[in-house]
Chain A
């Protein structure tokens, strides 16, 4: 299995502020993804984090709201910008050794926006 760690694990944020979540994966991971799970919902892919270039965003997610960086193979950040209560969710970093391989998840970052 792959080791994926992210932080913070939990935070309470003020409306209008931004928060950056960090994710570190082990060296065997080549693909990195960011997911969101809103209360009572399934896991939704936000974007694929691409090393050294702009992330590939899914429909409904934009770079201005969720800027993502991946400066090297094993590290990525997701920023949730200008937060509103609707952004309260668990944000999950994940990684895989390539298409068709198992994706492993971090423990998640539970954000509550007040």
Chain B
């Protein structure tokens, strides 16, 4: 059962416009969410995070919004730049039982920013 879902495998956006990447989750016990950016054959790079006690966190061109009632979060990139072209992963911390924690990832959304 996939607990973190990114339903759009890909997204194309014109340079300068806003990119909106979406993520849904099923476990209401998640309390910390993260977005990562990944280029091919490289490790994921942390972008931005949000705690469940907040509904918005902003860092430069990146803003993450959290809607707990809808179990939905989104990453906004504005303005989008060609260098933003990458795969973006949504992730959430979950208590997997017996005091064990793990970070669960969505399947990723490939963003292409067109010059």
- Residue positions of A touching B, CB distance < 8 A: 1, 4, 10, 31, 33, 41-45, 48, 56, 58, 90, 92, 94, 96, 99-108, 110
> Inside 8 A of B43's CB, which chain A residues have their CB?
4, 90, 92, 94, 105-108
- Answer yes or no: B103 CB below 8 A from chain A CBs: yes
9 nearest interchain CB pairs? A105-B43, A99-B101, A42-B107, A108-B43, A43-B105, A100-B32, A107-B43, A105-B44, A103-B103
What is the chain B residue whose CB lies nearest that of A110? B41
- Answer yes or no: B55 CB below 8 A from chain A CBs: no
Asked if residues A104 and B100 are in contact (CB atoms below 8 Å), the reply is: no
Digit string of B7-34 for contact with A (CB within 8 Å is 1, else 0)?
0000000000000000000000001101
* Nearest CB of chain B from residue A8's CB, rounded to whole Å: 13
- Answer yes or no: B93 CB below 8 A from chain A CBs: yes
Majority SS of interface residues in chain A? strand
User: How long is the Cα–Cα vector from A109 to B44 in the complex, in angstroms?
Assistant: 12
Complex A-B: 7 CB contacts under 8 Å: A31-B101, A45-B103, A90-B41, A100-B31, A103-B34, A103-B46, A105-B43
Asked if residues A48 and B41 are in contact (CB atoms below 8 Å), the reply is: no
Q: A48-B100, A102-B46, A110-B41 are in contact. Are A42 and B108 (CB under 8 A)?
A: yes
> Inside 8 A of B46's CB, which chain A residues have their CB?
1, 102-105
Asked if residues B93 and A43 are in contact (CB atoms below 8 Å), the reply is: no
Asked if residues A42 and B89 are in contact (CB atoms below 8 Å), the reply is: yes
- Answer yes or no: B42 CB below 8 A from chain A CBs: yes
Asked if residues A48 and B102 are in contact (CB atoms below 8 Å), the reply is: yes
Q: A33-B102, A99-B93 are in contact. Are A105 and B45 (CB under 8 A)?
A: yes
What is the chain A residue whose CB lies nearest that of B107? A42
User: How long is the Cα–Cα vector from A83 to B103 in the complex, in angstroms?
Assistant: 26
Asked if residues B32 and A43 are in contact (CB atoms below 8 Å), the reply is: no
> Inside 8 A of A104's CB, which chain B residues have their CB?
46
